[in-house]
Amino acid sequence: MARIKTSTTIERRPPAAAGSAGFTLLELMVVLAVAALAAALVIPRLTTPSAATDAARASRLIAAGLRETREQAIFANDRTAFILDVERRAFRAGNRPAAALPASVEIALGTAESLIADDGRGEILFYPDGSSTGGQILVGSATRSGSDAYEVRVDWLTGRIEFAGHAN
């Protein structure tokens, strides 16, 4: 029987040069500081609503208030008013307490002249059969560049409320 000779050789590598393996504590601290600075600048912008977001939210709140007012008129079998205070940026939907809108929005109401008061308040009336006096409410950001406007329309015949989204 033939014997196989085995030999174990251990390779020796020269020691790594200082600083070539891994990162130093100072480098890690610089990276963490840059990441913290970036987070401090970005996170507040993500959590703070912009003027355009406020306008979209306000127009949806108004549309919901109009729908609720129409439902109250039908359910109570009585005329019910949606009141919009343009100057104070607030509205009252039927029997509900007044709801405030963000200060960063501009509002314009289009309705029958007889339903607009001198103090900046106006009404859209809903009747028991679901119909209304009709009208439209424009909502935009106070700092808008022309593309942050939304429109909520009320059809006078059916009382149907349409949220038009972006209106340019």
Query: Where along the chain do its domains lie?
Result: 51-167
In the numeric block, the tokens 């340019």 are attached to 168
CATH for 51-167, options being 3.30.450.40, 3.10.450.50, 3.40.50.300, 3.55.40.10:
3.55.40.10
SS3 62: helix
Collect all residues with Cβ–Cβ distance below 8 Å to 105 and sequence separation of at least 6: 51, 54, 55, 58, 89, 139, 140, 141, 142
State if pTM tops 0.85.
Answer: no
Residue 162: what pLDDT?
94
Residue 144: what pLDDT?
45
Longest dimension (CA), the chain: 119
The neighbouring-strand residues paired with 138 are 108, 151
Residue-wise pLDDT for 97-135, tens only, equals 999 999 889 999 999 999 998 888 999 999 999 999 999
Strand 80-85: give its sheet, edge to edge. 99-100, 90-93, 80-85, 121-126
For residues 149 and 54, give the distance between their C-alpha atoms in angstroms, rounded to a whole number.
11
For residues 88 and 24, give the distance between their C-alpha atoms in angstroms, rounded to a whole number.
59
- List of the chain residues with pLDDT < 70: 1-20, 47-49, 142-147, 165-168
Taking CA atoms, 82 is separated from 63, 67, 98, 99, in Å, by 11, 10, 10, 11
Residue 8: what pLDDT?
64
